[in-house]
Amino acid sequence: MTSSAIHHLHKRKRIHQKHEKYPHPDKWKNRLDLIVFGIGLFAVFMTIPQVIEVWTNKNVAGVSPATWITYALASFCWMIYGVVHKEDKIVVVNALYVVLNLLVVAGVWVSIGHLAL
């Protein structure tokens, strides 16, 4: 290794050592982690009524497939981020978002019978 590579390796070690433990030993931060995960799951489940409306009632008035595709892509990016950083909770929440968002898009396309964005 060159000296700059060794410097980079040592710098990465120092950065890695600054990460906080999970679950955090501080009860407040540990509770906050759980609350934020719960809020993330709650937000995911708030998408279910839209999926039901599109699939069961076939009501697609005002539903933009382009918007829901964008939501799915954003969630997919966050899911990949969670995989890379080994953040299981980010992966779980965003994988659910991807599935539900794509269900809305598929429901719109089935209801209108063509691929109009």
Contact 53, 65 (CB under 8 A): no
Query: How do residues 85-101 score in pLDDT, each as one tens digit?
Result: 888 999 999 999 999 99
The dihedral built from the CA positions of residue 61, 64, 65 and 68, taken in this order, carries a sign that is negative
Nearest to 40 by CA among 85, 81, 96: 96
CB atoms within 10 A of CB 65: 18
Does pLDDT of 116 surpass 50? no
Average pLDDT over residues 33-53: 93
> Structurally, what CATH architecture does the domain formed by 20-112 represent?
Up-down Bundle (1.20)
Contact 109, 65 (CB under 8 A): yes
% of the chain residues with pLDDT over 90: 63
Contact 100, 47 (CB under 8 A): yes
